[in-house]
Structure 1
Amino acid sequence: MSYLIAALVAAVLWSPEAFGKTVTGLFKSEVAREQNGQFITKFMYQGDHGLLVCRLDNSPLAVEKESRLLLYQDMDEGLDNLSCSERLARAQLTISLSQEEHNQTIPRQSSPTAWQALYADRYTCQDGMEIPSHADLSFTVLLFNTDSAGNPLEHFSAEEAGLHSFYFLLLLAYFVASCIYIQPLHQALRKGGPMHTVLKVLSTALALQGGSALCNYIHLARYSRDGVGFPLMGSLAEFWDMVSQVSMLYMLLSLCMGWTLSRGRKTQSRPLQWDSSPASRAVAVGGVVTQGVLLLWEQYSDSETEHHSYHAQRSLAGILLIALRVILALLLASVLYQIISTERSTLKRDFYLTFAKGCFLWFLCHPVLVLISVVFNEYQKEKVVTIGVILCQAISMVILYQLFLSRSLYWEVSSLSSVSLPLTMSRANQRGRY
């Protein structure tokens, strides 16, 4: 696990940065020729008075190169089949870069629409013309939607609008819940007990989810002011979320595999421990490593993805990640069905059923929400998946907390855990306490 976490840290913190809504860089004639127009950024405008501001450090050089910024509305793959000159001619708006600063108002959008900005100059479509060894043009591009007062001051693209407020409300809910439940939970952890390790993993995963929400809020709070934010905070948010995901997966798989492998055994000399079953540990580690690799692959699969922990999956890595979660849910369903169908104790059957609800909600919320998001507009899909998965997984954690802490189930079931429940921490000389 430590090696996997170290790999996640390195991959997330040193991954290529996404395109921000304040974009700085260099206009390069060579790149513009290779790509039939150098891609600069993409932004989804909505409503009236959308604005694009382009600032140059060397406007005389831009005039000499006949530099221009081309804006395309809903640019599709059909442009790839056009010649260079035809492709540039299809631009809805053309900004001739002849001054240090250009302000371009975007036409009114009846519905949120994606616009892409490309750079071109006199050398872009002239393959036979040698490109002089001029210095590249330094630029800064700012993109704005209108705020609540109708002024073009909002850096958020239409698909991101509202996420800042969501993370604020989520942090507020975490704070209120921690104030109410932190003391009872601390007391339960201090007492120990058969499910002590489970509660520790749940608490750690929940704390990591809270840390991810805090990092996202800090990043978006700064982003709302300058369009750049704290990219490191966005990367940390994704990292904490990935660690939380693999921790929960390891715990849930260990629990289910431990239950399965322990059935039919005679009473053990001591309760099943976290690492007492090599087979269950191998299954859990295999699932964790597979998910970790797919999460890392997903980070690199789409260079335009913003710092969100969940995405309406379009990449191969994202599709495989969803397939893995569905497969794991089916595996757990099979395991729990075998246990529940042969279990005679009503109390333990209720315990397993409640546990199954928490597991299925955790694993299936992402695939189901991605499927549901198909019926929403393009700018709504990302928010539906992101907000829905965070809320569903938080509810799943609450269900598992209630299950393992409730007096009606936890204490009575844990008293039988020496033969049926894994991940227990009691020892033979402590068994008389429970």
Structure 2
Amino acid sequence: MVSCYREGKGKDCKWKDSVDEDIEIAYDIWLVNGNPAAPSHNVFEYQFSFEQQGSLERVLLFFLLYLVLAGLQVYAVMRQKHLVTRLFTAALTLQLLSFLWTITHLAIFAMDGDGVPSLGIVGDVSYMLSQSLFMLLLLLLAKGWAITRTELTWKPVLFCIWLVYSCIQILLYVWNMTEVDVIEEIDEYQTYPGWISLCFRLVVTAWFLTELRSTMMDENDHRKLRFYLHFGAGLLCWFVYLPVVALIALQVSALWRQKFILGISSCADFLAYAIITHLLWPTRSQQYFQLQSELDPGDELEELNEAPHNLQANCRKELESN
């Protein structure tokens, strides 16, 4: 400790070292954006550093959007009995839960500046598991499951690779959280764990394209081929957007880089989930997917009336009446 002492009646003071004195000082440093004594402040910016400002609003917005998607998917999964819809519902549920845990952590952080870090970690892990399940679903659809073929080959190998990929993603996350200096690196894609994660994503992308090409060569239905083209083009953008965004982010200021990456990632993920929700909707999935749907009794009666023998009987009755 160094303090200023004034000796005698003079106006000047001299700095003296008081390290030899046994003094205990209790202090608390609270770093916020704005004046702590001000009666009013922006709750969305007050406790957050500049590169994190806007996180609470972004997570809240996409939580509401995913909540709408989840409601629609619950209706769809109740009318369709197939593992495809259940797998997508599980991925969508994990995505919704990841936003729920994250928004809870950020809301508490906005109030006290501490939050619940464990909830933030649970949210990140839920997000990674959701992404892994979603990739598994896309690979299964690229193999033609429930579209071109009802049975899959090499199922144990496929699920083992998926399990290994999920474990690697979690290990890379732990590495990034424990070993990487957060002061030097603003975003994860400037770290070794981030680069390795992007490389694995590119490998899965190549696998997706290979399976899709093989399935299209075995398919003869023009409608399903057109579906595969649109499906492959749309979801390929989802696979490759993250490496492209990570490269572009290198040219963005460190103050805006995290907002740039998270904003585009959130939009791209939501669009991908919305596309699959649309494709698996009961009235549309019947065009391409071999899914078991629960028909209403009125639909069954209508199909029975349109049967050939019933149509002939109805025609005879009309002729006899005329």
**What's the TM-score, normalizing by structure 1?**
0.54
Report the Cα offset of residue 305 of structure 1.
5.0
- SS of residue paired to 2:106: helix
| Match in the other structure for 1:168 | 60
Report the Cα offset of residue 386 of structure 1.
1.7
Amino acid at match of 2:87: V
2:101 paired with 1:215:
yes
Report the Cα offset of residue 396 of structure 1.
0.5
**Which moved further from structure 2: 333-342 or 166-175?**
333-342
- Give distance in 1, aligned partners of 2:276 and 2:221: 20
Report the Cα offset of residue 161 of structure 1.
0.7
Amino acid at match of 1:249: M
Q: Give the structure with the larger helix fraction.
A: 2
In the TM superposition, 1:120-269 aligns within 5 A as 140-146=28-34, 154-178=46-70, 181-182=71-72, 185-193=73-81, 196-257=82-143
In the TM superposition, 1:230-379 aligns within 5 A as 230-257=116-143, 271-272=150-151, 277=153, 279-303=154-178, 311-340=187-216, 343-379=219-255
In the TM superposition, 1:387-406 aligns within 5 A as 387-405=263-281
| Superposed structure 1 runs of 4+ greater than 6 Å apart | 147-153
- SS of residue paired to 2:29: strand
**CA offsets, 1:116-175, max 9 Å, x none?**
xxxxxxxxxxxxxxxxxxxxxxxx432222289679982211111110111122223234
Amino acid at match of 2:58: F
1:383 to 243, 255, 259: 259
Report if aligned partners of 1:160, 1:383 keep a CA contact under 8 Å in 2: yes
Report the Cα offset of residue 425 of structure 1.
7.2
- SS of residue paired to 1:407: helix
- Give distance in 2, aligned partners of 1:221 and 1:213: 12
Larger Rg: 2
CA RMSD of aligned residues (A): 3.6
In the TM superposition, 1:59-70 aligns within 5 A as 64=19
Report if aligned partners of 1:205, 1:244 keep a CA contact under 8 Å in 2: yes
- Give distance in 2, aligned partners of 1:347 and 1:335: 19
Report the Cα offset of residue 311 of structure 1.
4.4
- Give distance in 2, aligned partners of 1:353 and 1:300: 38
Amino acid at match of 1:215: W
Report if aligned partners of 1:322, 1:367 keep a CA contact under 8 Å in 2: yes
Change (3 A) 1:404 1:350: farther
Report the Cα offset of residue 376 of structure 1.
1.4
Report if aligned partners of 1:249, 1:288 keep a CA contact under 8 Å in 2: no
- Give distance in 2, aligned partners of 1:172 and 1:255: 28
Amino acid at match of 1:158: F
Report if aligned partners of 2:66, 2:270 keep a CA contact under 8 Å in 1: no
- SS of residue paired to 2:142: helix
Report the Cα offset of residue 98 of structure 1.
8.4
Report the Cα offset of residue 63 of structure 1.
5.5
Report the Cα offset of residue 203 of structure 1.
1.6
- Give distance in 2, aligned partners of 1:280 and 1:301: 32
Report the Cα offset of residue 219 of structure 1.
0.8
**CA offsets, 1:281-300, max 9 Å, x none?**
31342144134213322322
Report the Cα offset of residue 258 of structure 1.
5.7
Structure 1 gaps, min length 5: 1-61, 67-96, 102-139, 416-423, 427-432
**CA offsets, 1:69-98, max 9 Å, x none?**
xxxxxxxxxxxxxxxxxxxxxxxxxxxx98
Change (3 A) 1:344 1:154: same
Report the Cα offset of residue 321 of structure 1.
0.8
Amino acid at match of 1:155: Q
**CA offsets, 1:1-53, max 9 Å, x none?**
xxxxxxxxxxxxxxxxxxxxxxxxxxxxxxxxxxxxxxxxxxxxxxxxxxxxx
Report if aligned partners of 1:343, 1:349 keep a CA contact under 8 Å in 2: yes
- Give distance in 1, aligned partners of 2:227 and 2:144: 15
- SS of residue paired to 2:50: coil
- Give distance in 1, aligned partners of 2:42 and 2:51: 19
- Give distance in 2, aligned partners of 1:372 and 1:213: 25
Change (3 A) 1:288 1:372: farther
| Match in the other structure for 2:306 | none
| Match in the other structure for 1:413 | 288
Report if aligned partners of 1:212, 1:236 keep a CA contact under 8 Å in 2: yes
Percent of pairs identical after alignment?
Answer: 22
Report the Cα offset of residue 318 of structure 1.
1.4
Structure 2 gaps, min length 5: 1-16, 294-299, 304-322
Amino acid at match of 1:142: W
**What's the TM-score, normalizing by structure 2?**
0.71
- SS of residue paired to 2:51: coil
Change (3 A) 1:281 1:237: same
In the TM superposition, 1:95-110 aligns within 5 A as 100-101=26-27
Amino acid at match of 1:396: A
